[in-house]
Amino acid sequence: MSVLICGSLAYDTIMVFEDRFKNHILPEQVHILNVSFMVPRLRREFGGCAGNIAYSLKLLGGDALPMGTVGVDFDPYAAWLRQNDIPLNHVTEISDTFTAQAYITTDLDDNQITAFHPGAMGFSHENRIGDARGVSLGILSPDGRDGMLQHAEQFDEAGIPFIFDPGQGLPMFNGRELTDFIDRATWVTANDYESRLISERTGLSPEQIAGRVEAYVITRGGEGSLVHTRKGAIEIPAARATEVQDPTGCGDAYRAGLLYGLAAGCDWEITGRMASLMGAIKIECHGTQNHELDPDEFGERFKEQFGFRI
């Protein structure tokens, strides 16, 4: 029972500026801004929502099947996915393009300046949901605009239940388009800020959105998450991390936990807690695909966190 994960595959180049941007950017001179930051620390990570979700789902023992478009520079990332037994059947290379990549500079106050090149991601519509066989469940995460629109329609037409996870792709869509995504989806997930933006654009409250899907999951960082269903809201506590290293990619790890619970037929009390724990495990490591665990270890940590076994 494969889980089809539609979304971006990207390189993240992360640079640390060992000072504060505010000490080098003069507010009265921003109209002629010309600054350069020395970054003695730099790392390149494998990222993108589809890659991140697939990696965490595979750690849990799920059958992750990413679908995305990449460029001619994808070989190192492809080798990493193969090393982790993640299939590339529906990862399509687009000639004469680069894989999507983000260049992120972080200062000592955790402020970030990011430049994002979508590259091959803009061709995601060249993949078709119907080409994936044996799929029981899916997720539509941030990707190229045309790809997201077409994949939602194709999931719906194929009768494959899927999560709509607009994430960073949210600004690309107007209220009518977001409402159409919601009506096609089986579940919707967003963080608290994204949820407010969705409501603003669609005119739908969380309760009204929950009335159109099986559940609307809203994450709230350290305050846990809320699962809105037609019967009411279920509060999911935040799992405790042993240390906080890097929040980047925690939302993707959380969504891997959702997918694992849904694929296993768990109720929301368990599914939400599995998702919460995956987010906590990710935050303990730098990068989005550097955390490690096996299903037995996950089960032990789940019992320690929540007081019962799954």
User: Which domains does the chain possess?
Assistant: 2-9+48-97+124-306 (3.40.1190.20)
Give CA separation, 275 vs 141, 239, 263, in Å: 16, 9, 13
Binned at pLDDT 50, 70 and 90, residue 248 comes out as: confident
pLDDT at 9 exceeding the cut of 90: yes
Query: Which amino acid type is present at position 242?
Result: T
DSSP state letters, 257-308: HHHHHHHHT--HHHHHHHHHHHHHHHHTSSSSS-----HHHHHHHHHHHHSS
| Residue whose C-alpha is closest to residue 8's, from 104, 115, 145 | 145
pLDDT at 173 exceeding the cut of 90: yes
Strand order in the sheet with 135-140: 90-93, 64-70, 2-6, 135-140, 162-164, 187-191, 215-219, 225-229, 232-236
pLDDT > 90 in the chain, percent = 81
Q: What is the C-alpha separation between 129 and 150, in angstroms, rounded?
A: 9
Q: What is the pLDDT of residue 278?
A: 96
Q: What is the C-alpha separation between 285 and 243, in angstroms, rounded?
A: 9
Q: If you average pLDDT over residues 87-109, what whole number do you get?
A: 93
pLDDT at 257 exceeding the cut of 80: yes
| Residue whose C-alpha is closest to residue 68's, from 154, 118, 6 | 6
Q: What is the C-alpha separation between 276 and 107, in angstroms, rounded?
A: 28
SS3 96: coil
Q: If you average pLDDT over residues 293-300, what whole number do you get?
A: 90
Q: If you average pLDDT over residues 80-84, what whole number do you get?
A: 97
Q: What is the pLDDT of residue 310?
A: 84
Using the structure block, give the residue that is written with the tokens 């849990």.
Answer: 60
Using the structure block, give the residue that is written with the tokens 């965490």.
Answer: 56
Q: What is the pLDDT of residue 29?
A: 77
Q: If you average pLDDT over residues 184-191, what whole number do you get?
A: 97
Give CA separation, 80 vs 12, 45, 85, 174, in Å: 14, 11, 9, 36
pLDDT > 70 in the chain, percent = 100
Average pLDDT, the chain: 94
Q: What is the C-alpha separation between 13 and 238, in angstroms, rounded?
A: 29
pLDDT tens digits, residue range 49-63? Answer: 999 999 999 999 999
pLDDT at 25 exceeding the cut of 90: no
As given in the structure block, the two tokens for residue 4 are 């089809």
In 222-267, alpha helices (H): 250-264
In 84-186, alpha helices (H): 145-158, 175-184
Q: What is the pLDDT of residue 151?
A: 98
Contact 248, 265 (CB under 8 A): no
